Structure 1
Amino acid sequence: MRYMFTYDMMETVRNTNEWMGASARAIASYPMWGLVPHPMFKVMSAWGRVTERSFARMVIKPDWGIRTVVGTDGRDHLVERTVEVARPFGDLVRFNVRGRPEKSRRILLCAPMSGHYSTLLRSTLASLLPDAEVWITDWHNARDIPVSAGKFDIEDYTLYLMDFIRHMGPDTHVVAVCQPVPLALAATAYLAELEPAAQPRTLTLIGGPVDPDAAPTEVTDFGRRVTMGQLEHLALQRVGFKYAGAGRMVYPGLAQLSSFISMNAERHGKAFADKITAEAKGEGSERDKHNRFYDEYLSVMDMTAEFYMSTVLRIFKSREIARNDFVVAGHKVDFATITDCAVKIVEGAKDDISAPGQCAAALGLLTSLPDTKKAHHVEPGAGHYGIFAGRSWRDNIRPLVLQFIDENAGPGRPASGEADPSHIRLASSSGG
Structure 2
Amino acid sequence: MKTRIIVIVFMIVGIMTALAQADDKQRDRIREQKKIYKQLRDQIREQKRDQLREQKRDGSCQEDVLKANDDVDPDQNQIRTREQKKIQDQLGDQLRLQKRDQLREQKQDGSCQEEEELLEWLKSILDEEEPEPVQDRTRTREQKKTQDQSGDQLRLQKRDQLREQKQDGSCQEEDEELLEWLKSILGEEDPDPVKDQTRIRERKKIREHVCDQSCEQPCEQKREQKRNQLREKKQDGSCQEEGILKANDDADPNKNQTRTRERKKIREHICDQSCEQPCDQVRDQKRDQLREKKQDGSCQDEGILKANDDGDPNKVQTRTRERKKIREHICDQSCEQPCDQVRDQKRDQLREQKQDGSCQDEDVLKANDDADSEQKQERTREQKKQQDKSRKRNQIWRRIKNYLL
Shorter-chain TM-score bucket reads: under 0.3
Say which one has the larger Rg.
Answer: 2
Is the strand fraction higher in 1 or 2?
Answer: 1
TM-score of the pair, normalised by structure 1: 0.22
Is the helix fraction higher in 1 or 2?
Answer: 2
TM-score of the pair, normalised by structure 2: 0.23
